[in-house]
């Protein structure tokens, strides 16, 4: 029982740290997109204060996961992913939604358990079974992850 509590406490701590890092990354992305420091930090502070308002599908990564898993094998550029996420109810405080969608997809890509890959300028979900018919996968180049 003590080990379970220790693991739960460690996971809670790691999630809290990840959330803080996500806010920092969003602020840096906003600066990279040309926002000033006050605007970038204000947007990320508002996002962390009211997460239900800013990302109604459970966060950027959850929104990206929902879109990518809906059509396994289909490639999405960051712009296409942001558009599909908006269609699913995603709301972001970022003035650059494509950058926010790219960051969300990259978080999924960095977790091997998510089975999200970046191929030829596209984010793609590949189910672990490996039985996907690759002839129906779509890709169109658009740049970096």
Q: What 3-state class would DSSP assign to 125?
A: strand
- Percent of the chain past pLDDT 90, that is, above it, reads 40
Q: What does the alpha-carbon distance between residue 24 and residue 141 come to, in Å, rounded to a whole number?
A: 29
Per-residue pLDDT of 13-44, as tens digits, reads 777 777 777 777 776 776 655 555 555 444 44
Structural domain that includes position 29: 2-136
* Assigned domain for 141 exists: no
The answer to the question of residue 70 being in a domain is yes
Cα 25 from Cα 28, distance rounded (Å): 5
How far apart, in Å, are the Cα atoms of 89 and each of 20, 59, 62, 66, 140? Answer: 24, 11, 11, 11, 24
| Residue at 144 is within a domain | no
Instruction: Flag whether 143 is in a domain.
Output: no
pTM, full prediction: 0.52
* Tally of domains in the chain: 1
104 occurs within a structural domain: yes
Coil, strand, or helix at residue 76? strand
């Amino acid at each position: 029982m003590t080990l379970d509590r220790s693991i739960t406490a460690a996971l809670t701590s790691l999630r809290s740290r990840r959330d803080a890092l996500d806010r920092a990354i969003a602020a840096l992305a906003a600066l990279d997109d040309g926002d000033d420091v006050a605007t970038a930090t204000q947007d990320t502070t508002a996002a962390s204060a009211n997460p239900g308002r800013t990302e109604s599908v459970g966060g950027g990564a959850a929104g990206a996961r929902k879109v990518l898993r809906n059509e396994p094998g289909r490639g999405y550029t960051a712009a296409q992913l942001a558009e599909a996420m908006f269609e699913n109810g995603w709301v972001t405080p970022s003035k650059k939604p494509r950058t926010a969608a790219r960051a969300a997809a990259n978080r999924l890509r960095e977790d091997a358990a998510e089975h999200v890959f970046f191929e030829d300028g596209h984010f793609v979900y590949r189910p672990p079974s490996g039985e996907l018919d690759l002839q129906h996968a779509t890709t169109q180049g658009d740049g970096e992850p």
